[in-house]
Structure 1
């Protein structure tokens, strides 16, 4: 048990460091902002208590906001993402796995289900974050380009990280 907690804390710190030290300084094509930190929210074990999921998501979003000089958008959107996460893990994970200590991954869910799960959750997260940050009617086209490109870049990063840390089941 203590080993899992230490591993989780180290993953939290590593993902936070990568996000705030590297990815917050990356702006691909002038539109795409990678948001790898949401992988930590999506990756928490199926059987994580809701209070823990929401608290960790709050802390993660708050830390990203603090290190990004933001006003709370990452915090609010991260908590919302954690709040809706159980609905999607139940929809895409095999029933027996949602009560286990397993983590949502391509190896556990299968590549197609994991890709759909990650895509939906990432799109919701990125959409809400970018709309909250930059909603202006005169910038709708740019906003939707940012949402699309940021989502694609984030999904690719999450899939790469998942492939590095877990073996994928053949579908």
Structure 2
């Protein structure tokens, strides 16, 4: 990994943690909807980098958010799960093309990128809220929180992605 990529990922990590903890955790749309924009780090992380390092960074990302949010490792578990499942989600969205050395996000359609981001967010939120609520008797509350928070998170992440042109390869 080049020094430029390392520096860029460190800055992304820090800015996303700070924005999540200082801004987005305190928004509370309709009393209970907090967008989790730090998930975009998993979307922006380079494709062909060391997988073990990626899992470690995702662990640290989730743990840092958990420490500041007091959520008992829910963010850590959800982040690690989608970091582990990222290749499967990528294969679903981009086909086997993503496994070739010439694959970049620039060569994909906007719909494929939004689908990839949406699946990351939906998977994360489903895991997060399932373990937060931990009761099948509240299945409607679970579905409501997953759906509404996912829609808001995807919208904000697409806006952030559009604002900041990122070189992900």
Same fold by TM (over 0.5)? yes
Task: Sort the Cα spacing of 1:96 and 1:71 in 2 relative to 1 into closer, same or farther, 3 A.
Answer: closer
Inter-partner Cα distance in structure 2 for 1:138 and 1:69: 25
Task: Sort the Cα spacing of 1:50 and 1:3 in 2 relative to 1 into closer, same or farther, 3 A.
Answer: same
3-state secondary structure, aligned to 2:52: helix
Asked if residue 62 in structure 1 is aligned to residue 63 in structure 2, the reply is yes
Inter-partner Cα distance in structure 1 for 2:157 and 2:107: 15
Preserved contact between residue 35 and residue 154 of structure 1 (Cα < 8 Å) = yes
**Gaps in structure 1 of 5+ consecutive residues:** none
Task: Sort the Cα spacing of 1:108 and 1:21 in 2 relative to 1 into closer, same or farther, 3 A.
Answer: farther
User: How far does residue 141 in structure 1 lie from its aligned partner after superposition?
Assistant: 1.7
Post-superposition Cα deviations, 1:118-142, rounded to whole Å, max 9, x if no partner, equal 1111111001101101123443222
Q: How does 1:12-161 map to 2 (within 5 A)?
A: 12-93=13-94, 95=97, 99=101, 102=104, 104=105, 107-161=106-160
Matched length: 164
- Provide the alpha-carbon RMSD of the alignment: 2.0
User: How far does residue 97 in structure 1 lie from its aligned partner after superposition?
Assistant: 7.3
User: How far does residue 32 in structure 1 lie from its aligned partner after superposition?
Assistant: 1.7
TM superposition score normalised by structure 1? 0.87
Post-superposition Cα deviations, 1:27-69, rounded to whole Å, max 9, x if no partner, equal 1112322000110012111102210110110000000000011
TM superposition score normalised by structure 2? 0.88
**Gaps in structure 2 of 5+ consecutive residues:** none
Post-superposition Cα deviations, 1:128-162, rounded to whole Å, max 9, x if no partner, equal 10110112344322221111000000100110011
Q: Out of 20-29 and 136-145, give the one that drifted further.
A: 136-145
- The residue that corresponds to 1:165 in the other structure is 164
Post-superposition Cα deviations, 1:48-95, rounded to whole Å, max 9, x if no partner, equal 221011011000000000001121111011000100001122333372
3-state secondary structure, aligned to 2:37: coil
Task: Sort the Cα spacing of 1:146 and 1:96 in 2 relative to 1 into closer, same or farther, 3 A.
Answer: closer
